[in-house]
A and B are shown apart, each in its own frame.
Chain A
Amino acid sequence: MPGIPGTLGFLASQGAWALAYNTGLTLARSLAGFLVGFAAALALGFAYTLGPLARETVRALNTILQSISVLIWVVVLVMIFGVLSPIPPVLVAALVSLPILLAAVVSGLEASSRRLAELASMLGASRGAYYRDFLLPSLAPPLAGATRSALGAALRISVVAEAFGSSGGIGYMIANYYNLAEPRGVFAWGLVLVALMIALDKGVLEPLEGRAARWSVEA
């Protein structure tokens, strides 16, 4: 096993361009997948408000999504899109984020008071205004907490997808050095992933969650 100096030395030998390129690639794929999952969760949340049948369908879909192993998604998507396609890491990140975000949207909608809908109607808000001014902002606190978990999961899982089939990214680099029997490379790129996750969590997601949570303090 390589020691800390060996790992850090190997990391430095990778060069700034390789570090920036592969880290950026993984981050971009994870973010793209997260955004697809976020949009899908909001769309399904909208469907959830349409009636009892839609509500049950969304609940059933979420249960199914939560029960499918990530490994199955990775293998199936690599089989469909090919080893070198950038789509599997993005889609896997989306499929992993979606149930986490959807659960937050659904719980936020269920917690949203019936009185709030009555108030919106009393103030003369159209359906669109109700969603824009009342419902969507009220989902911010649960969604901010879920974003923290979902983006973290998206990042971890897209790395796995990159390892299975991709031509770049942190996961690809880890798999590549594993195949070359170079443990320093595996550890060095593992360290990059951990650093990226901590920076993202502490630098962006935690402050975002704190900012959104202040809204949940009702006067």
Chain B
Amino acid sequence: MERRGLALEARGVSKSYSGRPVLVAVDLEARWGEVVAIVGPNGAGKTTLLRILAGLEEPDSGTVRLHGRALMVFQENLLLPWKRLGDNILLGLRYARVPRGEARERLEWASRLLGLEGYLDKYPWQVSGGTARKAAIARILVLDPDILLLDEPLAGLDVSTRRSLMEGLVSVARGRGKAVVVVDHSVDSVARYADRLYILSQPPGRVVAVVDLAGVPPGERPGRVYRELERIASGVPREGGGA
């Protein structure tokens, strides 16, 4: 059944640590079937925002509404080095007592999607950083979350791995109707794939721009985002208003 409307919405989310503000009044939403990217400089509170969306931290003020189960992929791979990649990916399915045959099917689907075939019997310390990152994502994907939150999944990956990973995530969003939220510090990495881009300011993080990219050809998307950034920098108001 195809879902419509909002998958998650955050309104006025603020967070401080030891009196130091990290996030200030952040509004954000993601719809079913969308890839949403949050981009900002180091220390802008991107990870904190994702952790709040995942329910791992409470905001000081503001609300978060999730209309489905959200699971987060951490920035660190956190693969268990004493288990093979396949067993790492199957871990959550084992805890959920998913029948063996179905677990195997989900494993095969995720490994095909992310290009992990041929690596499932390897240990994490025997594969490249990119393959380990994909396995960490596959471990969450096989649990079939409604909302997938990824903290800098592209960090440290080469261009072709970034592209294949983002294409896989886009197919999860479009093909399976999931909401995918990706955090990154680089516009270039995610602009070609995201339906909407939230740009956070220098710390403390505030949303300084929301760039709608749905319907824009992938090749033109980075240009659209940079024009928006220039507009913000020069203080020119946006034509037609809106987000």
Contacts and interface: CB of A to CB of B under 8 A. Distances in A.
Contacts of B81: 214-219
Interface in B80-96: 80-83, 91-92, 95-96
Interface in B118-137: 124-125, 127, 129, 132
Interface stretch (A10-18, A115-123, A190-198): A115-123
Contact of B76 (A113, A123, A216, A217): A113
B129 A219 contact: yes
B15 interface: no
Given A219-B124, A219-B129, A219-B132, A129 B76 contact: no
B79 interface: yes
Interface stretch (A72-80, A132-140, A151-159, A199-207): A132-140
B109 interface: no
B74 A119 contact: yes
A214 B92 contact: no
Given A214-B125, A219-B81, A219-B127, A133 B74 contact: no
Nearest to B131: A219
Mostly helix, strand, loop or mixed at chain B's interface?
loop
A172 to B, nearest CB: 41
A219 B54 CA distance: 24
A124 B96 CA distance: 7
B214 interface: no
A12 B83 CA distance: 49
A147 to B, nearest CB: 17
A211 to B, nearest CB: 11
Interface in B87-112: 91-92, 95-96
Contact of A113 (B78, B82, B139): B78
Contacts of B140: 122
A131 to B, nearest CB: 13
B127 A124 contact: no
Contact of A123 (B83, B127, B143): B143
Contact of B78 (A119, A215, A216): A119
A42 interface: no
Interface in A92-127: 113, 115-116, 118-119, 122-126
A116 to B, nearest CB: 6
B11 to A, nearest CB: 24
B16 interface: no
A124 to B, nearest CB: 4
Nearest to A218: B81
B76 A219 contact: no
A123 B124 contact: no
Contact of B139 (A123, A125, A126): A123
Contacts of A216: 81
Contact of B82 (A115, A118, A215): A215
B71 interface: yes
A137 B124 CA distance: 15
A217 B76 CA distance: 14
Given A115-B74, A137-B80, A215-B81, 14 more contacts: A119-B78, A122-B54, A122-B72, A123-B92, A123-B139, A124-B95, A125-B91, A137-B82, A214-B125, A215-B125, A218-B79, A218-B124, A219-B81, A219-B129
Interface of B: 54, 56, 71-72, 74, 76-83, 91-92, 95-96, 124-125, 127, 129, 132, 139-140, 143
20 contacts: A115-B76, A123-B91, A123-B95, A123-B139, A124-B92, A125-B91, A133-B83, A137-B82, A214-B81, A215-B82, A217-B81, A218-B77, A218-B79, A218-B125, A219-B79, A219-B81, A219-B124, A219-B127, A219-B129, A219-B132
